[in-house]
Structure 1
Amino acid sequence: MNSVIDGQWRRLDPKTIAAAATLVLAPLVPTAAVMLLSAAKAATLLITALIWVGIAVLIAGYTAAEWWVTWYRITEERFELRHGVLTRNHRWIPRERIRSVDLTADPGHRLFRVTTVKIGTGGQHEGNDLKLDAISRHHAESLRQELLFGTSSTSDTVAHGDPDTVAHVAVGTAAASAEVGEAVLARLNPSWFRYSALTFSFVLIVWGAIGSAVGSFSELLKAFGFFDSLAHAVLVSSLWLVIAAGLVIALVVGVLGAIALSVEMWWGFRLTRERGDTLRVKRGLLTTRSVSLEERRLRGVELAEPLLLRWAHGARLHAVATGLNQKQEEHQPDNKTLLPPAPREEAQRVAAEVLREERPPTEGELRGHPPAALRRRITWALVAAVPFITAAVVAAMIGWVPVAVPAAVGVVAVAVALGFAVDAYRNLGHRVDDRYLIARSGTGIRRTVALQRDGIIGWRITRTVFQRRSNLMTIGATTAAGNSIYEVHDVSTGAGLAMAEEAVPELLAPFLQRG
């Protein structure tokens, strides 16, 4: 049995070829079932199956070629990867620059007991990372331990023909190594899933998936008379009753789907601190994920409270860290999530644990902003209400709705708009303490950011025409972490400059003129 860092070139696990083919062929079964139920012709079904199998063979062939030309090795100095079918690449990362080793296994990979390993340097560009797709799950954990902590605790289980007994030994050793110096900061409480029902983004994802499914299976639904039954129900029932029933069904399906989506994403969640300086998030039901984050890359935390979740006293916790590629995070925002939707008190506790503080910096009173900020938000809110009132007036003029409807719509729209404006103003605030700049804003999603003062590398000040007339400014703290800039909105000019000077003394002073 060879050491993990013996410098020998190794291939990926050959089972990744079967995993790729299985991933392509899996949708063929439900597709064929739908075609049979919709009374498709046998020739059509056969042609579809042959095309599908042909695509799977092509993908399996390309995956086999990629497997044949992909080699990697670990030496004392660096991690190297050679790959590419059409364009050959030879890349490497010095081991001292490796900052994260993340493991992901989708259902196809889990079926064949392999895992994708992503090795990152903490750089802002995704091209700085190297990915092994895929290797044995036992060797993946061993590889992660070695690259992150420099302690190879398992033998090489990726070599072909290893006996099962070797694999079992590797599993036990890797598990024991993973537990050394591991402190559990948070683990999943199943009762937290009820907060996912109040996360509107999850509900939107479910509605989008249902809409896509209806479009894809429209022929099957038509064959079963679904659309005809729906049209008949609309004709024999009251329009308002049909609308109300549709809204109730959409709400129930959205809530249940959001809970199911959250279960898939966060099942088995554990937030741990390994070897005293590395945070690790493990989660996933069908697709398992393991994300690592060195604490020296951490620059703060963000407490996110969507409106409905905030009413239920819930929140999510995100990391503000260097090396989180912003473009990539837009597609996979949960890579930076340290805690799923949970009680706000739990999120505050975990924030303090992650930052090694006695009390969470995101907690406590913040300095309010001047009344001019409220006037700006009231103006925006009233402008936002105008389209709804205009639409109601036009509908009344055409005769679609009673004459009294525009007045009712106007009252409701203005009341809702003013409510959001007042809430947005009440959520504004900032504070500077011994180590952090804390800023809070937002109403649809209230965000409270605690940014380490020594992580601030600059300031960006913006003043619109209307802000200048109200003696307001928006000042943003720039950093190499997270979103790159975190703003304090609509603060008075004097308070904003004083805040910047207090947070990072002498950084802004050379650019100011003393009055």
Structure 2
Amino acid sequence: MNEPTRLHRLFILFPLVNSVKSLIPIAALVSIKFLNGKSLRDIPWYWLSAVIVIIAGLLLLYGYLKWKRFVYTLEEDKILIRRGVLFREELSIYTGRIHSMNMEQPLLQRILGLTQVRIETPGKTEGGGLLPAITNSEGERLQRWLRERTRTRQTEREVQQQTYEGREQSEHNLPDESEGLSVQLPEPQTIHESVDPSALNMSRQNTPAINADPNAADRRNAGDPFTVEEERSTLLQLSTGRLLIAALSSPNLSLALAFVGGILSFADDLLPDQMYQSAFQSAGKLLPGSWISIAVLALVVSWLLSAVLYTIKYAGFTVERIGKQISVSCGLLEKKRLLFSPERVLAITVKEGVFRRWFGYAEVKVHVLTSESDKHFMLHPLLKTTDIPELLERVTPQFTAQAISASPPSRAKWMYLRWKLGFAAAASAACIWYFEMPGMLSLLLLPLAVSWGLRSHRDSGLNVTDKQLTIRSRFVALSTRYIRRPQIIALEISGTRRQRRRGLLSLQVKMIFSEINESLSGMDQQEIEAVRAWFQKKKGEATVPTERNNPPIELL
């Protein structure tokens, strides 16, 4: 078990392939500039080939040295990683700090039939806990090793706690020496010495298994901890038809802007100077109707492109339960398999897009405590809103889908209209000044802004039940976030003098990560005070009645 293990031999090719991949765009631009007005005979092919061969040989040598010096060892309570060519690095990651081991297959690993394992720990690891090239079976073995160590650690704590409580109970029941009874006390010993080693294996023997290995006993005697397979069940799978509907109902306008910006940035380098100047002059002579047609075409192209990328990203979407963990796997070109424990979920977000809300569908995301920059895991990309309570009960039973019980009052409408109307008025004024009469069409933005503000006011709200806070808000899509009280770092309550005179306050919920902070504006002061009392209330204290006729909120 403590023998060092190397990565797969194909890891030797990684530096060469990554260098070629990064140099392809630069080589294309340099080639276009170099060949502009020149013949292929002017290229020094002999020297160019020699340089390419030398660089490729050096990269292969570097890859071999990296593979030779990259080893990892599974020990009793940690994984030890040693690596480095010029500077040796040794990294010890203890199992008590590991959140999960996620299996990923970027494009290169997927082509070579390999996988990479990312070890999740608190804080930023900067790629330290990454095994970039191992087989799929080895990745499964590492995940089983982590789950086995986690179960053993939990069992040891439970046995020690039971032993400690039993000792306290026996000492409490000792006869009083004043009654003349002689009591022979046992030899003093530590809690660890009193633990029965056979009790530590009870959980392993009683764990339900599928596809059990017939050689499990021999492997146990050989020191391999992976004696049985944990119970594994599929919670949900996304069909091809449902995936296509989810892709077409998820337009990405930012992708259109990035697409157009990329074309404009590279047009000067890719197109000849005469062609570029001619296209630029022709664009300046287009009529407003032509620009509208181009904008509509760009939106359609970006919509189809985002649908294709969405399908590639979430192809084969599957959610499984492996032991006590949840596994989410998806991806066509780059396959990812993310594991997390339900206890580490900080919040859950239900997002209902403009198109999806019409048909009663939404996407569900979980926010998990992890070291990755992307802390939002898609739990289901397209689910009926009526099925969300059942999904949360099966995957994260500590969260419940609660309806909104308090909404902003009518006197808070101006808080939802002011910024939207101000932006629409500024945009209309700019369009009228630049386009003159055709710019008058931009006045249609004003009723759209009013409709947008009124819908935001109508759909916003909150609810407090037990240890969960539910906040719903709308920017364009309708977003509902479920937050547990232990995960809230602080509550920030604010309001201007004018807002306070009208009995209005704003609420901001601060979490561990600022990306999942939630805010709500223009709520009744009594509702915000009830949330503050709920947050400050200790477990077991009485409820705080409100002055309204609604029933009091039960606070634990």
Query: TM-score normalized by structure 2?
Result: 0.72
Structure 1 range deviating more: 70-79 or 496-505: 496-505
CA contact (8 A) 1:431 1:439 kept: yes
1:118 is aligned to 2:84: no
Q: How does 1:383-398 map to 2 (within 5 A)?
A: 383-395=422-434
1:315 is aligned to 2:362: yes
Shift of 1:52: 6.9
Q: How does 1:223-242 map to 2 (within 5 A)?
A: 228=278, 239-242=287-290
Structure 1 range deviating more: 448-457 or 371-380: 448-457
Q: 2:487, 2:386 → 1: CA distance?
A: 26
State the SS of the aligned residue for 2:5. coil
- The structure 2 residue matched to 1:409, chosen from 442, 445, 458, is 442
CA contact (8 A) 2:352 2:478 kept: yes
Shift of 1:423: 1.3
Residue 136 of structure 1 aligns with an amino acid whose one-letter code is T
CA contact (8 A) 2:402 2:470 kept: no
Identity of aligned residues (%): 20
Partner in structure 1 of residue 16 of structure 2: 21
Partner in structure 1 of residue 187 of structure 2: none
- The structure 2 residue matched to 1:487, chosen from 519, 523, 536, is 519
Structure 1 range deviating more: 20-29 or 483-492: 20-29
Shift in CA distance, 115/420, structure 1 to aligned 2, threshold 3 Å: same
State the SS of the aligned residue for 2:234. strand
Shift in CA distance, 503/97, structure 1 to aligned 2, threshold 3 Å: same
Q: 1:221, 1:280 → 2: CA distance?
A: 47
Shift of 1:107: 1.8
State the SS of the aligned residue for 1:73. strand
Partner in structure 2 of residue 434 of structure 1: 466
**Larger CA Rg, structure 1 vs 2:** 2
1:444 is aligned to 2:491: no
Shift in CA distance, 148/309, structure 1 to aligned 2, threshold 3 Å: same
Partner in structure 2 of residue 131 of structure 1: 130
Residue 204 of structure 1 aligns with an amino acid whose one-letter code is S
State the SS of the aligned residue for 1:292. strand
Measured against aligned partners, the alpha-carbon deviations of 1:383-434 in whole angstroms (never above 9, x if no partner) come to 1122123213423xxxx432x844x433x12201111111111121111123
CA contact (8 A) 1:300 1:355 kept: no
CA contact (8 A) 1:318 1:337 kept: yes
CA contact (8 A) 2:412 2:523 kept: yes
State the SS of the aligned residue for 2:6. coil
State the SS of the aligned residue for 2:73. strand
Shift of 1:376: 0.9
Residue 182 of structure 1 aligns with an amino acid whose one-letter code is R
Shift in CA distance, 29/301, structure 1 to aligned 2, threshold 3 Å: closer
State the SS of the aligned residue for 1:444. coil
State the SS of the aligned residue for 1:67. helix
CA contact (8 A) 1:32 1:45 kept: no
CA contact (8 A) 1:98 1:148 kept: no
State the SS of the aligned residue for 1:367. coil
CA contact (8 A) 1:99 1:148 kept: no
Partner in structure 1 of residue 391 of structure 2: 350
Measured against aligned partners, the alpha-carbon deviations of 1:163-189 in whole angstroms (never above 9, x if no partner) come to xxxxxx9xxx9xx99984222222112
Shift in CA distance, 487/455, structure 1 to aligned 2, threshold 3 Å: same
Partner in structure 2 of residue 103 of structure 1: 103
Q: 1:179, 1:258 → 2: CA distance?
A: 39
Measured against aligned partners, the alpha-carbon deviations of 1:201-233 in whole angstroms (never above 9, x if no partner) come to x44235524642564365555499688579669
Shift in CA distance, 44/352, structure 1 to aligned 2, threshold 3 Å: farther
Shift of 1:262: 0.8
CA contact (8 A) 2:256 2:298 kept: no
State the SS of the aligned residue for 1:243. helix
Partner in structure 2 of residue 379 of structure 1: 418
Partner in structure 2 of residue 79 of structure 1: 79
Shift in CA distance, 225/389, structure 1 to aligned 2, threshold 3 Å: closer
Q: 2:326, 2:409 → 1: CA distance?
A: 39
Shift of 1:67: 2.5
Shift in CA distance, 194/247, structure 1 to aligned 2, threshold 3 Å: farther
Shift of 1:82: 1.5
CA-atom RMSD, angstroms? Answer: 3.9
Residue 401 of structure 2 aligns with an amino acid whose one-letter code is T
Q: 1:30, 1:14 → 2: CA distance?
A: 28
Residue ranges of structure 2 left out of the alignment (5+ in a row): 152-214, 220-225, 542-546, 548-556
Q: 1:67, 1:282 → 2: CA distance?
A: 28
Residue 364 of structure 1 aligns with an amino acid whose one-letter code is A
CA contact (8 A) 1:198 1:308 kept: yes
Measured against aligned partners, the alpha-carbon deviations of 1:57-98 in whole angstroms (never above 9, x if no partner) come to 555444433323222100112111122334432121222332
Q: 2:506, 2:347 → 1: CA distance?
A: 21
Partner in structure 2 of residue 144 of structure 1: 143
CA contact (8 A) 2:473 2:479 kept: yes
State the SS of the aligned residue for 1:92. strand
Q: 1:216, 1:128 → 2: CA distance?
A: 32
